Amino acid sequence: MTAKSGKAFGILVTFCALFLFWLLLSGHFDTFHLTAGIICSAIVALISHDLLVKGKGEKMLLKSFRFVIYLGWELWQILLANFDVAYRVLHPKMPIDPRIIEFETSVRSDFALVTLANSITLTPGTITILVDREKGKFWVHAIAKKPADALLVDKTMQKKVADVYMEG
């Protein structure tokens, strides 16, 4: 892939992501709103494509596809965690046992680390406190043992993020 085609691919991927987000947030599908969305998405994609797609875009299409699949899984985890937190808060004995855990992960790229950190924070009951980029070390606050064990023992989220970005 040449540098020029890599840049064009980055602009296209950024444009598509921005336009889909525009459609999702706007909810209007008339000519005016669609035209405004296309124009705004194109301008922002031209200016900031290198923020979303860095480098040569190596296997970017495959990573993008895997990321979309991961988002579906993450949304399901968020839903399940909402029920878990609601149960803990509404239970008469409030089975809350807060703890701070630390673990290391095999992912090292900026996108992978940010995806993992944000996925943890977006999932109710857990919050990423700190990430050591060089060591791939995370510090996370968990509401109880079960959410903490999901990160320490099962490591499903770490494995899925590593799979998305083809690391570890």
Contacts of residue 13, defined as CB under 8 A and 6 or more positions apart, other chains included, come to 49, 52, 53, 57, 60, 64
34 and 103 co-located in one domain: no
Please, what is the Cα angle at 79 between 97 and 159, to 5 degrees?
A: 80
**Per-residue b/e over 129-139, b at no fewer than 16 CB within 10 Å?**
eebeeeebebe
Helix, strand, coil percentages for the chain (3-state, nearest 5): 65, 10, 25
Given a contact cutoff of 8 angstroms between Cβ atoms, the answer to whether 103 and 138 are in contact is yes
Query: What's the predicted TM-score (pTM) here?
Result: 0.73
Nearest CA to 59 out of 100, 15, 98, 6 is that of: 6
Domain range spanning residue 78? 60-164
What is the pLDDT confidence band of residue 5, given thresholds at 50, 70 and 90? low
40-76 tens-digit pLDDT:
999 999 998 777 666 555 677 788 789 889 999 999 9
What are the backbone dihedrals phi and psi of residue 44, each rounded to the nearest 5 degrees, phi first? -65, -40
pLDDT, mean over the chain:
90
The structural domain count of the chain equals 2
- 67 and 131 belong to one structural domain: yes
Position 55 scores a pLDDT of 56
Q: Which of 52, 74, 92 is the last residue of a domain?
A: 52
Asked which of 52, 68, 86 is the last residue of a domain, the reply is 52
